[in-house]
C-alpha cells in the first residue's frame, strides 16, 4: 500500500458515511487510489449494515445524516471499538467539534473536503492504530521513551503509549495530545487554558468541558499501579498535573 511517511503494519479498511453522493465519490476515489479498502454509505442504517460484513478500522462520518446524527454512530462505534474516527461537518461550529471530541472522535474536518488533507489525516490515524514495532520501555536495546509516567512509556514522535506490562494503550489523538501536554509541563500545574493552547496544533477548538471529558477518559484507560490516587491529579480551581 502506498503511503506518505512510511509503510504501516497492514492494510486499513475505511467506512465513509455521508449523504452527499458527490462527496462520497470524491472521497472514495481518493482513498481507493491510496490503497485503502473503502465502503461508501449514505445513512446510519447503511453504515450499520456495512459494519456487519466489512471490518473497518477507520471511519469517516458526517455529523448530519438523513436518519439521525453522526454523533450517535460515533458513540455506538466507540462503545465497542478503538477504531480511528474522523468526523465531517458542513458547519465549522465549535459545538459539533467539542461534542465529537468528548465522545471519542480522533479528528475533525470541516467541509468542503480536500481529498489530500483527508488522506493525510487518515494516514496519521493509521500510524497510531498500527505503529511500527518498537521495543517496550523495559528493554535496554530499543528506543527509550521520551517520558515514563507511573510506569507508562510515552513515545512522542511515534505517538505511542506503552503500559507497564509492555502493551500498547489505545488512545484517541485528542487523548494522546492532552496527555503529552500534561507531561510536558513536567510536574507543574497546567490550567485548562494552557492545555487547550498546547493542543491547538491539531486545529481543534477545545474548551474546558472537552478537556475535562478527555481527562476523565485518560484516567479510566490508565489505571495507577497499586496507588490509591491517580497520577493525573486535579488541582481544584486551577487545572491538572502529573504527580509521578
Instruction: Give residue 222's domain range.
Output: 147-242
Q: Which tens digits make up the pLDDT trace of 186-208?
A: 778 999 888 888 776 554 555 56
3-state secondary structure of 86: strand
Q: Rounded mean pLDDT of the chain? A: 81
Q: Which tens digits make up the pLDDT trace of 113-169?
A: 899 999 988 988 887 766 655 544 444 456 788 999 888 999 988 888 998 888 888
| 183: CB partners within 8 A, 6+ apart | 147, 149, 154, 242
**pLDDT higher than 50, residue 179:** yes
Residue 49 covered by a domain: yes
Indicate whether 33 and 96 sit together in one domain.
yes
Q: What is the CATH number of the domain that holds 59?
A: 3.40.50.2300
pLDDT, residue 210, reads: 75
Indicate whether 190 and 106 sit together in one domain.
no
Q: Is-contact 189 235, C-beta < 8 A?
A: yes
Indicate whether 156 and 220 sit together in one domain.
yes
98, 129, 160 - which closes a domain: 129
Which of 117, 130, 27, 39 has its CA nearest to residue 83?
130
**pLDDT higher than 50, residue 176:** yes
pLDDT, residue 98, reads: 65
75, 99, 129 - which closes a domain: 129
Indicate whether 112 and 151 sit together in one domain.
no
Residue 141 covered by a domain: no
Indicate whether 97 and 35 sit together in one domain.
yes
pLDDT, residue 240, reads: 92
Number of Cβ atoms within 10 Å of the Cβ of 66: 10
Q: Which tens digits make up the pLDDT trace of 20-69?
A: 999 999 999 999 998 889 999 999 999 999 998 888 889 999 999 999 99
Sheet architecture: strand order including 239-242: 190-191, 239-242, 232-235
Indicate whether 156 and 213 sit together in one domain.
yes
pLDDT, residue 42, reads: 96
Alpha carbon distance, N-terminus to C-terminus of the chain: 41
The residue with greater pLDDT, 98 or 158, is 158
Cell of 131: 505503529
SS3 breakdown of the chain: % helix, strand, coil, rounded to 5? 40, 20, 40
pLDDT, residue 58, reads: 93
Please report, rounded to a whole number, the percentage of residues in the chain having pLDDT higher than 70.
Answer: 80
Indicate whether 47 and 108 sit together in one domain.
yes
The residue with greater pLDDT, 200 or 233, is 233
Residue 4 covered by a domain: no
Q: What is the CATH number of the domain that holds 178?
A: 1.10.10.10
Amino acid at each position: 500500500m502506498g503511503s506518505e511517511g512510511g509503510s504501516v503494519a497492514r492494510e486499513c479498511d475505511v467506512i465513509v458515511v455521508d449523504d452527499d453522493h458527490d462527496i462520497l465519490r470524491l472521497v472514495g476515489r481518493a482513498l481507493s487510489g491510496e490503497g485503502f479498502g473503502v465502503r461508501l454509505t449514505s445513512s446510519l442504517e447503511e453504515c450499520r449494515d456495512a459494519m456487519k460484513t466489512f471490518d473497518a478500522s477507520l471511519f469517516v462520518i458526517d455529523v448530519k445524516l438523513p436518519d439521525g446524527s453522526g454523533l450517535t454512530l460515533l458513540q455506538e462505534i466507540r462503545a465497542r471499538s478503538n477504531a480511528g474516527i474522523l468526523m465531517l461537518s458542513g458547519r465549522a461550529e465549535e459545538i459539533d467539534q467539542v461534542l465529537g471530541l468528548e465522545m471519542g472522535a480522533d479528528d475533525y474536518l470541516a467541509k468542503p473536503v480536500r481529498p489530500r488533507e483527508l488522506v493525510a489525516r487518515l494516514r496519521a490515524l493509521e500510524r497510531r492504530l498500527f505503529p511500527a514495532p518498537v521495543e517496550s520501555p523495559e528493554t535496554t536495546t530499543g528506543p527509550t521513551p521520551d517520558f515514563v509516567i507511573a510506569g507508562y512509556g510515552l513515545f512522542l514522535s511515534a505517538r505511542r503509549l506503552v503500559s507497564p506490562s509492555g502493551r500498547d494503550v489505545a488512545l484517541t489523538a485528542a487523548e494522546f495530545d492532552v496527555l503529552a501536554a500534561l507531561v510536558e509541563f513536567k510536574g507543574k500545574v497546567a490550567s485548562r487554558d494552557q492545555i487547550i493552547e498546547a493542543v491547538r496544533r491539531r486545529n481543534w477548538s477545545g474548551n474546558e468541558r472537552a478537556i475535562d471529558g478527555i481527562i476523565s477518559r485518560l484516567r479510566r484507560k490508565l489505571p495507577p499501579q497499586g496507588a490509591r490516587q491517580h497520577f493525573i491529579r486535579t488541582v481544584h480551581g486551577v487545572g491538572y498535573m502529573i504527580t509521578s
